[in-house]
């Protein structure tokens, strides 16, 4: 994907639109000389001081384009580890683009994320920190920001490196045992190996568990509103968002395509999905909508299963309610695990006071989009859900699927090593499993990386970062 990494590159690094200033970045061996060739007064590159701003006029041939400030950073003391210049011009796309076009006469346009890729390749940061830059740019809540900053500080990298050290230590002892198996050298005993493997496994399990929290903090908690047609999914969706987003009507099958909107609940990002009511249908479009509901259910972190209070009124007691609920779950929801499903009785305004009291006694969540009854307890439920992992944020969480799947693979390799040990097939096989765990962890921080991994990470960045 990337063209030559020895080229000098340039890009507009500030967002499009009008503002006080715009920033253009140039990185590469000739960055400073190239910028100096376009500005007046003429400055001698040998006299330029690092990290000091210079005022200048930027010209394309004889044509004045803008008055600018520029700052030079010398390799390796820059973001990319190369010579780097930042030009601040007036915050107008039209002007910034002309400066960029002029620079492109002697430089090449940077690919998305190429400045950060170069920082990684020049050992300015490991892959987790590079990804933290991406997360920070995307952060929409305080928690995502905090988690990204902790990762940028290198907390995840440190955790991974500590586990890698433990693995390396064990690997060396195993190798020693293989080499001196016939001799009278003090070699590590099997139960000591097992102890160490279990300790490493525990660290990996802990790390894997932070992955769930990390993904939710960065990508948001995905909640799907699901139920039969007309139970009030779209009405509740609108109420939670506090806007008329979805069409509501008393005709069953109103919602076809799913809708998605995000809210921040006390700094926690939640992404709500309103879906098509699930039922047997012969309507082609409705069926396509129902297929999408099922896809969304499979991807959701939580499924709010809405029930209509009018139907609950016909279930004379709690055991009937429970039977009805379990039938409904079997019928509607096939693609998620039981613990993700939260049943909610909607239209609680239609319940008789006696039944309502009974349901509340059984801790069943009730709500009404008309009276707004129960919305506070729904929010309290969600805040409680978030509180279970809030304290982990500053400690360096796993923050994306790539990292999570590498940790899971490392964990599997250690489990495999423990099994191999139990089968007593020989230490050399354990050493093989341990080496594989190590390789998976090295992938996370980028000690081992392929073009494919790097492409996937940096293609999501914007140009100029």
Q: Applying CB under 6 A, which residues contact ligand GTP?
A: 227, 229-235, 248-250, 252-255, 276-277, 346-347, 349-350, 368-370
| Nearer Cβ to ligand GTP (58/237) | 237
CA distance 345 to 100: 58
124's CB contacts (< 8 A; 6+ apart) are 76, 79, 80, 81
Taking the complex as a whole, the smallest distance from the CB of residue 345 to Mg ion amounts, in Å, to: 17
| Nearer Cβ to ligand GTP (188/342) | 342
User: What DSSP string describes 72-87?
Assistant: EE-TTSSSSSS-EEEE
The entry of ligand GTP, Mg ion, none that residue 229 binds, CB within 5 to 8 Å by partner kind: ligand GTP
CA distances from 25 to 45, 46, 136, 301 (A): 17, 20, 19, 40
| Nearer Cβ to Mg ion (233/411) | 233
Q: Would you give the end-to-end CA distance of the chain in angstroms?
A: 16
Helices and strands (H and E) in the chain: how many: 16, 13
Taking the complex as a whole, the smallest distance from the CB of residue 107 to Mg ion amounts, in Å, to: 52
The entry of ligand GTP, Mg ion, none that residue 342 binds, CB within 5 to 8 Å by partner kind: none
| Nearer Cβ to ligand GTP (345/397) | 345
CA distance 78 to 68: 20
The entry of ligand GTP, Mg ion, none that residue 244 binds, CB within 5 to 8 Å by partner kind: none
| Nearer Cβ to ligand GTP (250/451) | 250
Site membership for Mg ion, residue 107 (CB under 5 A): no
The entry of ligand GTP, Mg ion, none that residue 136 binds, CB within 5 to 8 Å by partner kind: none
In the chain, the largest separation of any two C-alpha atoms, in whole Å, equals: 89
CB 228 within 8 A of CB 279: yes
Per-residue binder mask for Mg ion (CB under 5 A), 253-282, x = binder: -xx---------------------------
| Nearer Cβ to ligand GTP (258/389) | 258
87's CB contacts (< 8 A; 6+ apart) are 23, 24, 25, 26, 35, 58, 68, 69, 70, 99
For residue 25, the 8-state DSSP code is E
Burial 1-36 (b: 16+ CB within 10 A, else e): ebeeeebbbbbbbbeeeeeeebbbbbbbeebbebbb
The interface with Mg ion within residues 180-239 (CB under 5 A) comprises 233-234
Per-residue binder mask for Mg ion (CB under 5 A), 154-183, x = binder: ------------------------------
Residue corresponding to tokens 């006071």: 353
Taking the complex as a whole, the smallest distance from the CB of residue 250 to Mg ion amounts, in Å, to: 11
| Nearer Cβ to ligand GTP (116/230) | 230
CB 117 within 8 A of CB 28: no
Q: Name the token pair of 269.
A: 């990002």
Residue nearest ligand GTP (C-beta atom): 277
Taking the complex as a whole, the smallest distance from the CB of residue 284 to ligand GTP amounts, in Å, to: 16
The entry of ligand GTP, Mg ion, none that residue 253 binds, CB within 5 to 8 Å by partner kind: ligand GTP
| Nearer Cβ to ligand GTP (249/387) | 249
CA distances from 118 to 15, 80, 377 (A): 21, 5, 49
Residues making contact with Mg ion (CB under 5 A): 233-234, 254-255
């Amino acid at each position: 994907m990337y063209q030559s990494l020895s080229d000098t590159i340039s890009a507009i690094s500030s967002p499009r639109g009008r503002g006080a200033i715009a920033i253009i970045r140039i990185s590469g061996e000739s960055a400073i000389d190239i910028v100096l060739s376009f500005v007046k007064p003429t400055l001698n590159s040998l006299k330029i001081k690092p990290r000091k701003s210079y005022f200048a006029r930027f010209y394309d041939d004889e044509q004045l384009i803008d008055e600018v400030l520029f700052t030079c950073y010398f390799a390796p003391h820059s973001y990319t580890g190369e010579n780097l210049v930042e030009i601040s011009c007036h915050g107008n796309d039209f002007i910034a683009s002309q400066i960029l076009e002029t620079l492109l006469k002697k430089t090449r346009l940077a690919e998305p994320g190429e400045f950060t890729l170069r920082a990684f390749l020049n050992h300015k940061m490991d892959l987790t920190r590079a990804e933290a830059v991406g997360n920070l740019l995307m952060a929409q809540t305080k928690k995502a920001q905090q988690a990204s900053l902790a990762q940028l500080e290198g907390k995840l990298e440190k955790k991974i490196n500590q586990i890698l050290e433990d693995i390396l230590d064990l690997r060396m002892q195993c190798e020693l045992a293989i080499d001196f198996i016939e001799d009278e050298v003090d070699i590590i005993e099997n139960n000591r190996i097992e102890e160490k493997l279990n300790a490493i496994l525990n660290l990996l399990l802990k790390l894997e568990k932070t992955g769930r929290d990390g993904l939710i903090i960065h990508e948001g908690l995905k909640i799907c509103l699901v139920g039969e047609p007309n139970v009030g999914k779209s009405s509740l969706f609108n109420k939670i968002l506090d806007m008329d987003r979805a069409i509501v009507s008393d005709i069953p099958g109103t919602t076809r395509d799913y809708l998605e909107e995000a809210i921040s609940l006390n700094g926690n990002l939640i992404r709500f999905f309103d879906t098509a009511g699930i039922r047997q249908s012969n309507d082609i479009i409705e069926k396509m909508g129902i297929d999408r509901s099922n896809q969304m259910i499979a991807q959701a972190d939580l499924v709010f299963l809405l029930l209509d209070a009018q139907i609950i009124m016909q279930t004379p007691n709690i055991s009937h309610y429970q039977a009805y609920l379990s039938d409904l779950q079997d019928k509607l929801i096939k693609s998620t695990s039981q613990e993700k499903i939260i049943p909610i009785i909607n239209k609680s305004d239609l319940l008789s006071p006696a039944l309502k009291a009974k349901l509340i006694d059984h801790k069943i969540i009730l709500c009404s989009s008309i009276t707004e009854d129960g919305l506070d307890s729904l929010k309290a439920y969600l805040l409680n859900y978030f509180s279970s992992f809030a304290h982990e944020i500053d400690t360096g969480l796993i923050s994306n699927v790539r990292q999570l799947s590498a940790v899971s693979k490392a964990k599997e390799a250690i489990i495999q090593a423990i099994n191999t040990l139990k089968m007593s097939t020989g230490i050399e096989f354990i050493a093989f499993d341990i080496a594989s765990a190590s390789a998976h962890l090295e992938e996370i921080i980028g000690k081992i990386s392929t073009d494919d991994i790097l492409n996937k990470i940096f293609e999501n960045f914007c140009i100029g970062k």
